[in-house]
A = this chain, B = another copy of it.
Amino acid sequence: MPSPRSKYDAVVVGCGVLGLSIANELTRKGLKVAVVGRELPEDVQSTGFASPWAGANWHSFAVNEAERRRDGYTHDQFARLAKEIPHLCERRPYFYYWSEEGNWQEPWYKDLVFGYRLLSPSEVPAPFKFGVTYESYTLNTPLYLQHLAKTLRDSSVPIIRHRLSSLDEAYSLPQIGHVNLVINATGLGARTLLGVEDPLVFPAKGQTVLVRAPDVKECYSHVDKLARPGQSSYIIPRPGPEAHVILGGCFLPNDWSTGPVPEVATMILQEAHKLCPKLDGKGGKGSWKDIEIVSHNVGLRPVREGGLRCEVEERWTGRDRKDLLPKGGKVIDGRKVAVVHAYGIGPAGYQSSLGVAKEVGGLVDGWLKKNGQGKRAKL
C-alpha cells in the first residue's frame, strides 16, 4: 500500500539526552520532526527516565572504535558548548586515584583531553598511592536537558507527552499523523515496548548524593575496589551558580528500585570525603558529616548487553505482536516503514550523545536516499 503523505519526516520517541540530541541533529539537517515521550525534559524529578539524574562529566568508557568515535565527537562539541554557554558546560580539572599498581590503564583519550599526566607521589592524597590528572568537561544535566528542549521548541519542534505501548503507535500518532520513520530512543523502555522487546536491555541502578560545595571545582574518582559489590566513588561538580556537586555512586544491574538506600548514601559521602576533603566546607578539616546535602537521588541507567543498539531496521506496521497492539490513533495499515534504534547507552548517555545523534543522522540520510526521499528532506 502506498504511504500516505506525512506532515512530519520522523518521530523521535524518548525525551532523554539521546532522543533530544537526535531530534536536534535531524532538525539541523532540515527534517521536520516531532518528539514524544512518557517523560518530558521538564520532568527532572521523575525516576521514569535516567537523564535528569546523571552527573555528568566527559570520562569515556569506550571500548571499541564506534564508541570512541561517538565519545570523541561529543568531546569536541562539548568544547564548543563550554565556550558558548559556560553555565551548561565547563572545562574542569579531573583527578583519578588508586592504591595498587596496575589499577589504571592508560586511556585511549589521553591525547584528546587537556594536560593528561601521571601525578607525582607527593600530589596524591592518602590513602591513595597513584594518580592521574587531565582536564575535561562537566555538564549541568537538568539545565542541559532544558537547553536541548528549548532549542527544539525554538525550531517549532513539538515535544509531546504520549506514552506508547508499541512502536507501531509512533507511526500514526493522533497529534502528528502518519510518518514512515521513527527513532527509537526509549532507553529502558525498549525492553518492553511492543515490537522491540529487547531482552538485552536492563536497568543498572545508580544512587548519588547531590550536595552543595562551592569550594569543589574539580572532578575526582578512585578506581579501587570497594567493600560492597557494584559500589564506586566519584565527584562531579555541576556548572552553574548553585555550586551543586554530584557524589556517586553505584552500578547495580537489574535493580529496578527507585528509593535511595541510607547505607549506600553513607558510603558515598565517606568515600567522597576521602577523595576530596574540602567537600566538608571546612577546608578539609571537618568530616563527611559536614557535607551540605541537597538531596538523595536514584536513576536507572538504560544498559544493554553488548552496548548501544544503533541501526536501521525496516519493518511493517501492524505485524509484530498483532494481538496486543493498541488500536488508538489512526488505523494500522501494514505500511513499510523504518525505525532507527538508538537505545541502551548505559552510563555513557551524555558523553556519547552528540556522537550518537550524528551517527543516527547518517543512518537517516542513508535510509532517505535509498527510499528516494532525499530531496523532500532537503538533504
Q: A residues near B, CB below 8 A?
A: 38-39, 45-48, 161, 163, 165, 188-189, 191-192, 194, 197, 212, 255-262, 265-266, 269, 288-289, 292-296, 321-328
Is the Cβ of B323 less than 8 Å from the Cβ of A289?
yes
How many protomers of this protein does the assembly include? 2
The answer to whether B194 and A262 touch across the interface, beta carbons within 8 angstroms, is: yes
A38-B45, A46-B48 are known contacts. Are A293 and B260 too (CB-CB below 8 A)?
no
- Compute how far the CA of A191 lies from the CA of B269 in the bound complex, rounded to whole angstroms: 21
Contact yes or no, B260 A192, CB < 8 A: yes
Chain B residues near A321 (CB, 8 Å)? 262
What residues of B have a CB within 8 angstroms of the CB of A294 in the complex?
A: 326-328
**What is the chain B residue whose CB lies nearest that of A321?**
B262
Closest to A265 in B: B324
CB pair B262 A296 closer than 8 Å: no
Q: State the 3 A-B residue pairs at the shortest beta-carbon distance, nearest first.
A: A192-B259, A256-B256, A165-B296
Alpha-carbon gap, A52 to B290, bound state (A) = 40
Query: Whole-angstrom distance between the alpha carbons of A197 and B261 in the complex?
Result: 9
A289 to B325 alpha-carbon distance, docked (Å): 10
* 8 A-B pairs with C-beta separation under 8 A: A165-B296, A256-B257, A256-B258, A269-B323, A269-B324, A288-B323, A289-B322, A294-B326
Residues of B within 8 A of A192 (CB): 259-262
Could you tell me if B45 and A293 are in contact, using CB atoms closer than 8 angstroms? no
Q: How far apart are A316's CB and chain B's nearest CB, in angstroms?
A: 18
- Across the interface, A296 reaches (CB within 8 A) one of B39, B324, B327, namely B324
Closest beta carbon of chain B to A160's beta carbon, Å: 12
The residue in chain B whose Cβ has the minimal distance to the Cβ of A254 is B257
With a cutoff of 8 Å between Cβ atoms, the chain B residues found around residue A327 in the complex are: 212, 292-294
Decide: A45 and B324 in contact? CB cutoff 8 A: no
